[in-house]
Structure formats: C-alpha cells, structure tokens
Amino acid sequence: MYLRYRAKYYNDKSKKIEFGFFWAADYLMKNVSLEIEDRNRLEELIKWFDDNLPIPDYYQEEKNRQKSKSATSWYKDSADEFIKPMNEMADILEKYNIEVERINARKIPGKKIYEDDFQITIIPYRDSKKRIE
C-alpha cells in the first residue's frame, strides 16, 4: 500500500488555486498570521523532513527536470516515521483551511522512477485517477 498527501489552497498573491503539500506549508508561513505554536511546529517539521527524507537523485539530473514536474512521490505504508509527521503537518494545514487529501493506492499509479526504503517516485499514468486502487 502507498500513501500520498496532496494540498490545495488559494494563493492570494497569484490569485489562483495551487497544489502542493510542502508548498502549502511554506505559503502559510510566509503569508498567513499563524499561532506561534503552529508556526514553530511547521518550521520544525519542514526542517526535520529536509534533514531526514532522502531526495531522489532523479530530481538532480538536468535531463529529468522537465519530466520531474509531473512526478509524484508516495510513501510506503511501512514508513511510519514519515507518515506520523505528515499527519501532524496536515492537521496544521487543515486548521488554516488548506484542503488536504490523503490518497491510498494498492498499486503505484504510474511508472516508477525512484525507490528507497520509505518512498517511491512515479510519473503518473495519464488515466491515473482511474487506476488508483
């Protein structure tokens, strides 16, 4: 089983709806008056992810940059050490009216381009919404 977190929010600066879990957290910290405890916790969580979650080499290769714009990462259901802090971050985002989706899939809905002990990164199939099980 695989788990993906997705966030949807309205960006007042761009005047449009945007997507991205960590982008939403960054947007909140830069543009919303947060309770100090929430701001501090978001900063701690983001730093923890930066220090602990491997960044796929795939994103570092110049030839893959265009393709990586459509790539998505999914946690393996065994990655509790990452899922728990993601849920904590999701709770904070939802508190400030960020729409968070937690998507489960038994099979990966795309072509696998990276895998480690905690996550996989895929290029989604064109009809991936139909293929998520």
Indicate left, alpha or beta for 20 from its phi (over 0: left) and psi (-120 to 50: alpha).
Answer: left
Would you call 8 exposed, middle or buried from its count of C-beta atoms within 10 A (0-12, 13-18, 19+)?
A: middle
Which one has a higher pLDDT value, 83 or 18?
83
The pTM assigned to this predicted structure is 0.83
For the chain, what is the mean pLDDT?
A: 88
132: tokens are: 């998520």
115: tokens are: 């895998």
What pLDDT digit, counting tens, does each position of 87-131 carry? Answer: 999 999 999 999 999 999 999 889 999 999 999 999 988 765 544
Q: How many CB atoms lie within 10 A of CB 121?
A: 21
Torsion of CA 130, 69, 53, 112, to 10 degrees: 50
Report the DSSP beta bridge partners of residue 102. 5
14: tokens are: 């761009």
pLDDT of residue 61: 65
33: tokens are: 């008056």
